[in-house]
Amino acid sequence: FRFHHIYTELIVTTFTNSGRFEFHRIYTELIVTTFTNSGRFRFHHVYTELIVTTFTNSGRFKFHRIYTELIVTTFINSGRFRFHHIYIELIVTTFTNSGRFRF
């Protein structure tokens, strides 16, 4: 048989009691798994993820992490696999209380 699993998932988590930070995680995931007659399969996992974390109570800094990640995993007949991990990451950290520098 062939199994194709395609879904889009949105996760938004906000911590309100502690008030220390807000965490937003948004990603789109595509999973395609194909089973062949011999039971061997190929697995492709491709997703794009956006992470934005903001620290509000401490007031010391705001941290924004934005990256796009592509993962492709292929299982070959011998059971070995090739793993490709490619991502572009942007990190912007701003220190507001000290006001000494921005990174």
Q: How far apart are CA 19 and CA 14, in angstroms?
A: 9
Taking every pair of C-alpha atoms in the chain, what is the biggest distance, in angstroms? 63
Strands (DSSP E) contained in the chain are 3-14, 21-35, 41-55, 61-75, 81-95
Domain span holding position 41? 3-95
**Assigned domain for 15 exists:** yes
| 0.85 surpassed by pTM | no
58-87: average pLDDT: 49
Q: Give the total number of structural domains in the chain.
A: 1
**Assigned domain for 54 exists:** yes
**Assigned domain for 100 exists:** no
79-92: average pLDDT: 50
**Assigned domain for 101 exists:** no
92-99: average pLDDT: 48
**Assigned domain for 102 exists:** no
pLDDT in tens, 32-57: 555 555 555 555 554 455 555 544 44
pLDDT at 79: 52
pLDDT at 1: 43
Length of the chain: 103
Terminal-residue alpha carbon distance, the chain? 52
Q: How far apart are CA 78 and CA 18, in angstroms?
A: 50
**Assigned domain for 103 exists:** no
